[in-house]
Structure 1
């Protein structure tokens, strides 16, 4: 670990490589190595696990993951300017860090990893939600990853862990909580980043369950939930009327009042409603 400790401070790395954060890439660098180590620890025991990191930038979190004992880290970085800084970390940890200069949305980095797999990242703001949805909706379940420890804008983090009846409750909460446990483990102010974003951030730890909490076909459940929240101000008998002519009867059979709105219906009843469309 001393080789990691011997690397220069991140501010020096950024200055020497000219790594000014680019808004177009959703970059906000986290330079406090105490914070990056804390995020790495929030992912649990990393020893014996391969770790996927998206958008490592100059490598602050990468250092934390390696220092916390990750068996191997695969860092996917779109910005080629960051590669020399990451290569210096790789040189300090022979055989434990692989860097892919690629767009995380254009490849399947999980193909490059060996289970058990944990995903830990300060996700670029402009792709974070899309990546999360991909990881939550694989073709088969349980997924190849064991857990996700991800930093998002505070608003997105709140949506992931939201409960029925709150303004943040919606599709993202249902998608995450149907087959996972999700909780916020850290809050970070804008001042923790360079440059400071306009919003606060939070780290969410998501653990995959062996099976969904309630049975439902994932395609049907997504269709029902999407339609319900697409017009969340409407009563469900109106929001879902296009799904079936007898939608009121189907809602009642699932334990949902036709006059309920989507934000008041819990996961169990949405799954019951989705099962009513299976045939």
Structure 2
């Protein structure tokens, strides 16, 4: 019998330990263990991986990850009320689960994990995007993780996978798609959670590429993309005019019309423009 079968239902765990979700912590608990097991499976083969989980709450996804055979799980939880519930899971899976009561923004997971590492989490809504950007912008690439399987509000998930020409297309799409293969693998309605959020949710799976899809200096690319989308209604010749006195020529040399707007420009074109500007 696996450890997950010896543990009580999540609603009982929440009642027993008094850990109703707190809005201030961005908590919406996923209580259906069939769904948490499905998300764990979407993270891929975990048997040879350590897994980092952020915001486990009462441990629904934690149980899924362990039941799916994760070599080891590091769970970082800010809410101290959840510690007894997570300790019960650790007891059911001896030596497989380490829990840290702290802020994920302040913890160095590499001090606790051995590669290969996958990250899987139902991220707290209030820090999800910030954590994703951190994971996508390390000083060196490839990163310490091989894949990310993350729950977001549906709107954020759509921004990650958006294509040129859509309203959702912007800095987050370019950042994610430059260095990863990103796709939405699961949609979840509000009623799947307790308490139900006001929005739909989606799980995004991002696989780290060995190197970026197109060559570009990360800082220059971020600078170009930030300027372009900070004034996304402007033509690029106006939005980027401070970057070079001959910006129109550089745009043309990169396959971009000076009258184009940021939301119509592809990742490949942004990388070409970044290389052109880096060349001086």
* TM-score higher than 0.5: yes
Shift of 1:106: 1.4
Match of 2:17 in 1: 17
**Residue 68 of structure 1: how far off its partner (Å):** 0.1
Correspondence 1:250 to 2:250: yes
1:96-107 mapped onto 2 (5 Å cutoff):
96-107=96-107
Give ranges in structure 2 of 5+ residues lacking alignment: none
**TM-score of the aligned structures, taking structure 2 as reference length:** 0.99
* Residue 229 (str. 1) matches residue 251 (str. 2): no
Cα offset for 1:245?
Answer: 1.4
Instruction: Report the 3-state secondary structure (helix = DSSP H, G, I; strand = E; otherwise coil) of the residue aligned with 2:241.
Output: coil
Q: Deviation at 1:146? A: 0.4
How many angstroms apart in 2 are the aligned matches of 1:114 and 1:166?
A: 39
Q: Which residue of 2 aligns with 1:84?
A: 84
Distance 1:3 1:41 in 2: 17
How far is 1:4 from its partner? 1.9
For residue 256 of structure 1, give the secondary structure of its aligned residue in structure 2: coil
Q: 1:26 — aligned with what?
A: 26
Q: Does 1:7 align with 2:39?
A: no
Q: Which residue of 2 aligns with 1:59?
A: 59
Q: Distance in 2 between matches of 1:266 and 1:257?
A: 12
What stretches of structure 1 of length at least 5 have no aligned partner?
Answer: none
What is the aligned residue count? 279
- The separation in 2 between residues aligned to 1:115 and 1:197, in whole angstroms, is 34
Following superposition of structure 1 onto structure 2, how do residues 94-243 of structure 1 map, counting pairs within 5 Å?
A: 94-243=94-243
Shift, 1:48, TM fit: 1.1
State the Cα distance separating 1:259 from its structure 2 match.
Answer: 0.2
Q: CA deviation at 1:144?
A: 1.1
> Which deviates more, 195-204 or 110-119?
110-119
TM-score by length of 1: 0.99
Contact kept, 8 Å, 2:3 with 2:67, in 1: the verdict is: no
Matched position secondary structure for 2:277: coil
Q: CA deviation at 1:2?
A: 2.3
Equivalent-residue separation in structure 1 for 2:24 and 2:35 (angstroms): 25
Partner residue, 2:270: 270
Q: Deviations over 1:70-113 (max 9, x none)?
A: 00000000000000000000000000000000100112223321
